[in-house]
Each structure stands twice: as structure tokens, then as C-alpha cells.
Amino acid sequence: MQLPPPPPDYEKRMPRHDEAPRLCGVGTDIFGREVRLSPEAAAAWLAMQGAAEDIGVRLLLVSGFRGLEKQTEIVRRKLEVGMMLEDILKVSAYPGYSEHHTGRAVDIGSPDCAHLTEDFEKTGEFAWLTAHAVRFGFSLSYPRVNVHGIAFEPWHWCLSDRRQSHA
């Protein structure tokens, strides 16, 4: 199944992202899969995760780099179960528009809630990230109200471009 094109106004609210040219491993995710990030994001993630761990906060890595093929597969699976593209694009980026392509985005989990749910907002991990992630160059990409039209994702954090240029 080929994907239908994104809506005509999609590019106005979602920036395009190229795949990271270089990636390095940062360990395994909660599913035991090897996770890769851009070198700058890898260093920042490991520093942030270590700082949190030093005070007993467990930032669980749910996902990192995701290429165009994987993003296409995610959207295709949702279409195959009958979801409308308009609804899919409220919770998943169209291939070519995901911050995960850059290798700078991480989805973070907590041992205290189901992964990739809004319940993450109620955890100590989210509270710690809200207070400290900026020190490591990470910011919450999709707050409750955002210009991208993406649903609130308290688990999705991305290393800013600006941080990379100074790393």
C-alpha cells in the first residue's frame, strides 16, 4: 500500500527533516533494540540520563533514530487498520517530517506508567525533565498546545539545532 500524500497545508505546520548522516549507539531501548542517535544527541542523552540516575530518576529510552522506511511502515500500519490519514497525522508525523529522522529526538518512558501515554506527564521523570532537560539542550517538542497540530506528547524530547551548533 502506497501512502496518500500529506494534506496540502502539512508543510506549513511541520518542518521537513533529513535523516541523520551519522549515528552512534546509546544502548538498548525498553524492548531490547539497539538505539542510535546523532553524535551530539547521544552525548547529551547519556549525560542527561546519567544526571537523572544520580538522583534516583530513571529515564527509560523508548525510541531514538527512526528512518523514513520505519516511519512509512508506522503510518501504513495505521492506514491498514482503518485510521484516516488526518487522524494519524495528529499522533504520528508523515515520513520525511519526523524529528526522529534527525537522530536528535528521544521518546522517554518511566517505570511508573505505560509508555507513550499522557500519563507520563504525572511521573517524577517528566517533572525532572521539565526542570532539567534544557540544561542538556533538550526541549519538549509537542506541548499541549503546539503549532504542529500534533497531540500532546510529554514523552517526546528533542535536542535543539542551536545546541548542536555549539556542541
Give the model confidence (pLDDT) of 4-19 as tens digits.
Answer: 999 999 999 999 999 9
Cα 103–chain centre separation? 9
Judged against a pLDDT cut of 90, whether residue 133 lies above it is answered with: yes
Distances (CA, A) of 39 to 5, 42, 46, 65, 66: 32, 5, 11, 11, 15
Cβ atoms within 10 Å, residue 161: 11
Biggest CA–CA distance in the chain, Å, is 48
Give the model confidence (pLDDT) of 73-101 as tens digits.
Answer: 999 999 999 999 999 999 999 999 999 99
Domains of the chain plus CATH, in order, are: 22-65+103-167 (3.30.1380.10), 67-101 (no CATH)
Name the band, by pLDDT with cuts 50, 70 and 90, for residue 161: confident
Phi, psi of 15 (to 5 degrees): -75, 150
